[in-house]
Amino acid sequence: MVYQRLGKPLPATAAGPNPLVVNVSARHCHLTQEAVEVLFGKGHKLTVHKWLYQEGQFAAKETVTLIGPRSRVISNLRILGPCRTLNQIELAYTDSIALGFDIPLRASGDIKGTPGGMIMGPAGFFEMPDGVIRALRHVHMNPVDAAHYGVKAGDHMRLKIGGPCAITLEKMLVRVDPSFKLEVHIDTDEGNACNLQPDTPCELVK
């Protein structure tokens, strides 16, 4: 399971037009169709393992092996579909330290100057010249949500997460698109730091 649905709707008075969903993204990659064919064979199409919360996005059945700079590997790295126009691997810092990568914190898609990596599939190897990042924690929202919270794309919000090991994530990038459903994406380091569970209270604040 790549994105585990962990959010809990806020009380109606605070919830705004849509319920807040907070999901943990385990390490994963986005690939071009060209890379998929190198890794899985000519003409291969990704197949759906599980639909994600954002419309049309899915965890694929296909996974790859990522080979780190010191020959350490991460097996079963999940591909998220559909294919994109760039190749990008998103790791938590704990993953990157285990692999021996020194990776930067970037917004998804902003991969210029980032380290690359070698990935392996059943049909071959694919070398990425760049694209290995820790993704900036972010919240997806549509314009109605943005108006409710009084924010715009590129702003930062805070996510207060309760429970026995409560934390507040102070800098949460706001991403706005009419197709987006209200959803926060954090990585496994952040999710495990606060032990995010289905009943953990979460509040998004400006």
* Nearest to 67, CA basis, from 108, 41, 46, 39: 39
Long-range contacts of 42-48 (CB under 8 A, 24+ apart): 44/123, 46/79, 46/81, 46/82, 46/83, 48/81
How far, in Å, CA of 105 to CA of 91, rounded? 10
- Per CB under 8 A, the segment of 4-12, 54-62, 120-128, 161-169 that binds a copy of itself is 161-169
Helix (H, G, I), strand (E, B) or coil at 181: coil
Closest distance of CB 181 from a copy of itself, Å: 24
- Sites for a copy of itself among residues 106-145 (CB under 8 A): 134, 136-137
Site size toward a copy of itself (CB under 8 A) is 23
Contact residue for a copy of itself among 113, 164, 178, 198 (CB under 8 A): 164
Which run of H or E residues covers position 12? helix 12-15
50 binds a copy of itself (CB under 8 A): no
**Closer residue to a copy of itself, CB minimum distance, 134 or 185:** 134
* Nearest to 91, CA basis, from 195, 64, 83, 99: 99
Closest distance of CB 22 from a copy of itself, Å: 14
- Sites for a copy of itself among residues 74-103 (CB under 8 A): 92-94, 97
How far, in Å, CA of 88 to CA of 15, rounded? 33
Binding site for a copy of itself (CB under 8 A): 92-94, 97, 105, 134, 136-137, 164-171, 187-190, 192-193, 195
